[in-house]
Amino acid sequence: MAAITISGVKKRYKKNDVIHGVDVEIEAGEFVVILGPSGCGKSTLLRMIAGLEEISEGTIAIDGTVVNQLEPRERGCAMVFQNYALYPHMTVSQNIGYALKVAGMPKAEREAKVLKVAKSVSLEPYLDRKPGELSGGQRQRVAMARAMVREPKVFLFDEPFSNLDAKLRVAMRAEVRNLHRSLGVTSVFVTHDQTEAMTLADRLIVMNSGIVEQVGKPSEVYHNPASLFVADFIGSPSMNLVRGFFAEDGYFRHGQGGMLSLPGLAKAHLSREVSIGVRPELVRRVDAGHKGAIAAVVDYTEELGASRLIYARADGSPIIAVDDGNDALGTGMPIHFAVSESDIHVFDHTTGRRIDHAGAAVRATDSVSA
Amino acid sequence: MERRAYYKNGGLPWLLIAPQLILVLVFFYWPTTQALYWAFTLEQPWGGGNTWVGFANFLGIFRDGQYWAMVGRSAFYAIATTAISMVIALTLAAFVDRSLKGTKLFQSVFVWPYAIAAPAAGVAFRFIFSPDAGLVGAINQIWPGLWNPAINGAHALAMVIVCHAWLGIGYNFIFFLAALQMIPRSLSEAGAMDGARPFRRMMDLQLPLITPTVFFLIIMNLISSFTDSFGLIDVMTEGGPIGSTEVMVYNIYVDGFKGLDYSGAAAQSIVLMLLVIALTFVQFKWVEKRVHYN
Amino acid sequence: MIERSPFFDFVSYAAMILGLFLVLVPFWITFVAGSMSLPEVARVPISMLPSGHLFENIQTAWVRADLGPKMVNSLIVASGVTIGKITLAALSAFSIVFFNYRARMLCFWLIFITLMLPLEVRIVPTYSIAANALLPFQFLLDTLGITWLIETVSGIRVGLEWNLLNSYTGLILPLVATATGTFLYRQFFMTIPDELVEASKMDGSGPLRFFWDVLLPLSRTNMLALATIMFVSSWNQYLWPLLITTDRTNYGTVVMQLKALIPAQNGTPDWNVTMAGALIIMLPPLLVVALMQRWFVRGLISRDK
């Protein structure tokens, strides 16, 4: 178990910054997921922790020791790679035991350890097979066993499930979770899959184009997104966002003459250029006569089984709602929605940061509360 | 393709590559430089060192009508060898590619000529084509004196060309077959759906699709015919009769080692070298760019 | 085969059988003639059926061309060149692909461009370097004035000399540099995923350990292919051994002996002995190719891409 301190870390490729200064504190024993779209720098950050990428600026410390100059093997990290990176010419047991062999551990001791680890991930029957003869899930487990056998201070996972099918992915997720619960080793897990991130993480680090957008517990990130990017990126279907401004009459004006009565918010954010957002599941369907109802026209619907998604358009702005009704909704039919003022998120349009109801912008790391 | 995973290790990479670099410098670049030096200088008869003579050595060989006759002969030799060898190999590969029953056997035999030393094949072919023994000599029993490579230069050249072409069959066959097998099967199936019969498909689909390989092999064969013919000719004809099978490589050897005319031989080497470089250049620039099917 | 077309199938078989004849006739005649007695081999046209004198002919050829020691020499040279080429090619390619230093592409091109300088075009000067392989270094010392310096200081004139004529080193060393092999290994190494390198770094192994534990085992197929090609080409070398050995008795190779087996212009036309000799000389590389066909075809092909 070890804490990881990342301070002021930058990554530069030929004068091009791909990571613009990251400051994150990962606590000992914590399971942290770095989430972000492809190209956001999440894997680069992970690989800098591992020692596979040079750190252009700033420091990374594991357990209080700055590791910038240390070789990967000296950092006490183990890594599970996206494509598993198993040695194709070695058997499962040789793959798992390779690090121990390199470290010079005697054969008998090594084999005992390999066997123990293999048992814990139910790989025992396959120890003499080559990776080529294993299924995707089994290979994945070999990769995990290889990381576990070294009893590292830190586990690093680089999108380890992206090559698995949906069902296996869910199963592996549970396995990783259990593994963490039983070993309690500090883990950093990189993924672009938000479901994976939400279910695994003690804390989430959301990254976008080289900067950290938000750090926080999954529920916090979901319910209090710190920026427009996070609001849009997390959640499926994504948050309804619309750009406009609050007028003195207590209305929010947007699109082609759209008006929303939000007197409370209008008072707080008067005349400000903002984007406001609301989660689709918090958009309610109401009757036409409902006070403050938003009149919209149905574009189409998507049946999900337990519920359905309504894609509609109100004054030229698209709006998505989750609905559990089963009445026929054809394209072009009128429909009415309502949202509670308290469910609305407000973002400064120029900075993209969240504005809390007192009017101040929320900083990326403010919501860290661990 | 850019790799991202490198090792950092100051001197180690140099240590690893040094042996080969040294060999390359000593046995390739140094002699090449020497050849250039000799080609532009003339050794003084009484050990006075070499004097700079500019292009005199080149002019010397270029003014020699026999040299041009030999260059023409070498070109003919190269083109004929390349054509014969490639046509045979391509035909065989096209049929083997149909994967009929038993083709595996044919396939492995067709590769065999690749393994044979040119001089060994030369000895065998010399016997086969001998005027008074072997196989072809039988003609002389019907029409006495019709075939005699020992006296008739054209016969001798034909004999050497046939042997060189035979030696190339294996190499060409391997490449043609591989290229043909690289063509997606679905393409042949689409051709069949369009109503094309097997022979038609061979002509309309397979052949056009392997043009890159055809060009690659043309260049490789030409280079090899210009440079690899020494052993064959030395064993079969020694350049005779009366120089009728003397090609560029053989002449360099004769002038350099028999005639001890280092400057002349060096100038000829440079010409041959430029030829090889030009062919390789065509291979790299022109062929790679012009012929592409995906 | 997509549809049935009996006629075209027939044509295909006919063509392939014709090809089989074309390819096999030289082998067959070599074998048949090698098995005949002198009168039998003198018959024109030659009979296409083997006779029973193969072993005595081989024996005669063996003695006449002194094939015993020559076989040993050929084997030493071919194995030496093969091993040397594979080792150097693997090490150079490893250095070029897995280390990031400024001059690596320059190094690669220096090696690769030698493809355009086949032995045949530089025989004359190469021969002179074989007489003293240290010539370039001497030249370097001379031009840099180091020779002069040492001479003035110590009075000793530095004369570097290493004669390669008539030695195994001379037969092997100049052939060991290999553009083809380096290129082939480089192509293969470039297909090794970055993650494998990184995994082994995480497992704690350094570059040499990675080379030995991971790269070499993975490149076994390529190595076999390369070995086949290299063995065949070095066994079949003719021009170079001819130049570098004046002492044929001790350093000649079998392929060089072929010429000695050919009947003299006015001598006994004992082609049976010649052919028996040719047969055993062409046999070793043929066996290697036949046995290794699966591997070596793959190795040869990857060369053009």
Q: What are the pLDDT tens digits along chain C (305 aa)?
A: 566 778 888 888 998 999 999 999 999 989 988 888 887 877 777 788 888 888 888 888 888 888 888 999 999 999 999 999 999 999 999 999 999 888 888 999 999 888 888 887 788 778 778 777 777 888 887 777 777 778 777 777 777 777 888 888 888 988 899 888 898 898 889 888 888 999 999 988 889 999 999 999 998 888 888 898 899 999 999 988 888 888 888 888 888 888 888 887 777 778 888 899 999 999 999 999 988 887 777 666 654 43
A85 and A219 assigned to the same domain: yes
Report residue B166's pLDDT band, with 50, 70 and 90 as the boundaries: very high
> Considering CB atoms only, which of B6, B116, B276 is closest to C116?
B276
Shortest CA gap C219–chain B (Å): 18
Q: What is the DSSP letter of B113?
A: G
C-alpha A333/C-alpha A1 separation (Å) is: 58
pLDDT in tens, C39-88: 787 777 778 888 888 888 888 888 888 888 899 999 999 999 999 999 99
Cβ pair B276:C121 closer than 8 A: yes
Q: Does A77 touch chain C (CB under 8 A)?
A: yes
DSSP A244-291: EEE-TTSEEEETTTEEEE-HHHHHHTTT-EEEEEE-GGG-EE--TTST
Cβ pair C201:A85 closer than 8 A: no
Look at residues A106, A349, A345, B230 and name the one whose alpha carbon lies nearest to residue C256: B230
C-alpha C245/C-alpha A21 separation (Å) is: 68
Cβ pair C255:B119 closer than 8 A: yes
Look at residues C178, C171, C79 and name the one whose alpha carbon lies nearest to residue C126: C171
Q: Does B169 touch chain C (CB under 8 A)?
A: yes
A166 and A314 assigned to the same domain: no
A130 and A201 assigned to the same domain: yes
Q: Which residue of C has its CA nearest to A103?
A: C204
Interface predicted TM-score of the whole assembly (ipTM), two decimals: 0.85
Q: Which domain holds residue A279?
A: 229-348
Q: Quick check: is A329 in a domain?
A: yes
Shortest CA gap B90–chain C (Å): 11
Q: Among A164, A196, A228, where does a domain finish?
A: A228
Number of domains in chain A: 2
In DSSP terms, A302 is beta-bridged to A309
- Domains of chain B by start residue, with CATH: 13-54 (no CATH), 56-290 (1.10.3720.10)
Q: Does A271 touch chain C (CB under 8 A)?
A: no
Q: Quick check: is A151 in a domain?
A: yes
Residue of A81, A105, A155 to mutate for C, most C C-beta atoms under 10 A: A81
User: Which residues, given as ranges, of chain A have pLDDT below 50?
Assistant: 359, 364-370
Look at residues A315, A306, A361 and name the one whose alpha carbon lies nearest to residue A336: A315
Alpha-carbon separation of residue C22 from A337, B112, B161, C19, C29 (angstroms): 86, 12, 15, 5, 12
A177 and A260 assigned to the same domain: no
Cβ pair A82:C195 closer than 8 A: yes
Structure-block tokens of residue A358: 């007192």
Shortest CA gap C104–chain A (Å): 19
A171 and A257 assigned to the same domain: no
Reported as type and span, the H/E element at residue A140 is helix A136-148
Question: What's the pTM value of the predicted model, to 2 decimals?
Answer: 0.84
Q: Quick check: is A101 in a domain?
A: yes
Q: What percent of chain B has pLDDT over 70?
A: 94
pLDDT > 90? residue B215: no
Predicted local confidence at residue A202, as pLDDT: 93
* Chain A residues touching residue C219 (CB < 8 angstroms): none
Alpha-carbon separation of residue C261 from A69, A209, A230, C62, C256 (angstroms): 68, 76, 85, 10, 10
Q: Quick check: is A353 in a domain?
A: no
Which residue in the block uniquely carries the two structure tokens 């517990």? A217
A11 and A63 assigned to the same domain: yes
Q: What is the DSSP letter of B10?
A: S
A311 and A191 assigned to the same domain: no
Report residue B121's pLDDT band, with 50, 70 and 90 as the boundaries: very high
Q: What is the CATH number of the domain that holds A271?
A: 2.40.50.140
A110, A141 in Cβ contact below 8 A?
no
Structure-block tokens of residue C106: 């320059």
> Considering CB atoms only, which of B30, B100, B171 is closest to C129?
B30
> Considering CB atoms only, which of C42, C118, C128 is closest to B133?
C42
C-alpha A145/C-alpha A80 separation (Å) is: 9
* Chain B residues touching residue C127 (CB < 8 angstroms): 257
A133, A64 in Cβ contact below 8 A?
no
Q: Quick check: is A149 in a domain?
A: yes
* Chain C residues touching residue A82 (CB < 8 angstroms): 195
Q: What is the CATH number of the domain that holds A184?
A: 3.40.50.300
Shortest CA gap A217–chain C (Å): 30
A195 and A233 assigned to the same domain: no
Alpha-carbon separation of residue B106 from A18, A356, B63, C12, C24 (angstroms): 57, 80, 50, 11, 11
Q: Quick check: is A363 in a domain?
A: no
B77, B159 in Cβ contact below 8 A?
no
A204 and A283 assigned to the same domain: no
Structure-block tokens of residue B34: 């020497």
A106 and A247 assigned to the same domain: no
Task: Burial-class residue C108 by CB neighbours within 10 Å (0-12, 13-18, 19+).
Answer: buried
SS3 at position A4? strand
In chain C, which residues touch A (CB < 8 A)? 193, 195-196, 198-205, 209, 213-214, 217-218
Q: Among A193, A228, A263, where does a domain finish?
A: A228
- Its sign, for the CA torsion B235, B237, B239, B245, is negative
Angle at A119 between CA A117 and CA A125, to 5 degrees: 120
> Considering CB atoms only, which of B25, B171, B235 is closest to C136?
B25
Reported as type and span, the H/E element at residue A322 is strand A317-323
Q: Among A188, A212, A228, where does a domain finish?
A: A228
The end-to-end CA distance of chain C, in Å, is 28
Q: What is the DSSP letter of B205?
A: I
A35, A204 in Cβ contact below 8 A?
yes
Cβ pair B24:C110 closer than 8 A: yes
Predicted local confidence at residue B287, as pLDDT: 57
pLDDT in tens, B7-42: 887 889 999 999 999 999 888 898 888 888 888 888
Chains near B with 3+ CB pairs less than 8 A apart are C
C-alpha C82/C-alpha C64 separation (Å) is: 29
Q: Quick check: is A213 in a domain?
A: yes
C-alpha A33/C-alpha A19 separation (Å) is: 17
Predicted local confidence at residue C301, as pLDDT: 61
A282 and A220 assigned to the same domain: no
Q: Does A71 touch chain C (CB under 8 A)?
A: yes
A50 and A149 assigned to the same domain: yes
Q: Quick check: is A358 in a domain?
A: no
